Copies of this chain bind each other. A is one copy, B any other.
Amino acid sequence: MKDAHDEVRFRVRYQETDRMGVVYHANHLVYFEVGRTELMRKRGIRYADIEKEGHVLAVTEARARFLGRVTYDDEIAVRTSIKPEGKTQVRFEYEVRVTGEERKVCDGYTLHVFLGPDGRPMRLPGAVRGVIERMQRGGGHEDGA
């Protein structure tokens, strides 16, 4: 992941594993959610505040590749970056790694559209466009690389 990105770390919960002994694959999409929430928070956007204004950021597409084993109590690092996708969509990209190892266990992206109070797609809110522009100019955040 060459673009500016943010990283958040936390541990895998027992609940997130399955009887194969590893994280149930769909839970990586939940880790992606934590990644984008924290990316926005560090850039000054609390997603909960966006919803208070009547807007929602609906997921329109998700893709993930499952590349390696990760299980209970492993500490993982989710790296997230953000890009525009046309006029009304946002694209987040993710990498999930086990900390302390170089091993990438999952990567993927999600596409999102902002919906207004009427449930229809709207232009990206200015605050979100600002975050994207700052990240594309090369980071602007101490975790950026």
Q: Contacts A62-B63, A63-B63, A66-B59 given: A72-B19 contact, CB under 8 Å?
A: yes
Complex copy number for this chain: 4
A48 touches B73 (CB 8 A): yes
Contact with B along A45-65 (1 / 0, CB 8 A): 011100100001011111111
Which residues of chain A (1-47) have a CB below 8 Å from chain B?
10-11, 13-15, 17-22, 24-27, 29-30, 33-34, 37, 46-47
Question: In the complex the two chains form, what is the Cα distance from A56 to B60 in whole Å?
Answer: 29
B13 touches A71 (CB 8 A): no
B64 touches A62 (CB 8 A): yes
Q: Give, as a whole number of angstroms, the nearest-CB distance from A17 to chain B.
A: 4
Q: Contacts A63-B63, A64-B61 given: A21-B24 contact, CB under 8 Å?
A: no
Q: Contacts A58-B66, A72-B48 given: A37-B19 contact, CB under 8 Å?
A: no
Identity of the chain B residue whose Cβ is nearest the Cβ of A41 in the assembled complex = B73
A58 touches B20 (CB 8 A): yes
A13 touches B29 (CB 8 A): no
Question: In the complex the two chains form, what is the Cα distance from A62 to B65 in whole Å?
Answer: 7
Choice from B18, B61, B63 contacting A19 with Cβ under 8 Å: B18
Chain B residues with CB below 8 A from A71, complex form: 19, 48
A interface residue numbers (CB < 8 A to B): 10-11, 13-15, 17-22, 24-27, 29-30, 33-34, 37, 46-48, 51, 56, 58-66, 71-73
